[in-house]
Amino acid sequence: MGYVVPHSVYPDGYHCKPSEPLPFAGIASQKHSINFYHMGMYSRPEILDWFVEELKKTSNRKPDVGKSCVRFKHLDEIPYELIGELMQKISMEEWIQIYESERKK
């Protein structure tokens, strides 16, 4: 399941496959974890740092975090309210600006 910037808003789509919309966030069930992806955490280290610090407050486990991915072992470990806060950290318009500025580099 994913959250994307629709072609009606960003017609160029994802640069690797322009026929697909620009990805923003997603969730996937893997063999040993439930993974949540957020491109804002990947593109803005301060957002990743904020999220990891807040995540530590919600669990006794060490956060299992990559550049844009957070892995949860069990459904009851997912901090839904914190993810809701994260989703509000970058608007769709801001994500498009970040994406375009990073692609130009």
Q: How far is residue 79's CA from residue 12's CA, in Å, rounded to a whole number?
A: 33
Within-domain flag for 105: no
- Provide the 10 A C-beta neighbour count for residue 87: 14
Q: What is the tally of structural domains in the chain?
A: 1
Q: In CATH, what number is assigned to the domain containing residue 18?
A: 3.90.1150
Residue 78 belongs to what domain range? 2-95
At residue 60, the pLDDT reads: 83
- Provide the 10 A C-beta neighbour count for residue 99: 20
**What tens digit of pLDDT does each residue of 62-102 get?**
899 987 899 999 999 999 999 999 999 999 999 999 999 98
Instruction: Work out the pLDDT band at 28, boundaries 50, 70, 90.
Output: very high
Give the global pTM. Answer: 0.86
Sign of CA dihedral 56, 60, 61, 62: positive
Q: How far is residue 51's CA from residue 54's CA, in Å, rounded to a whole number?
A: 5
51 neighbors 36 (Cβ within 8 angstroms): no
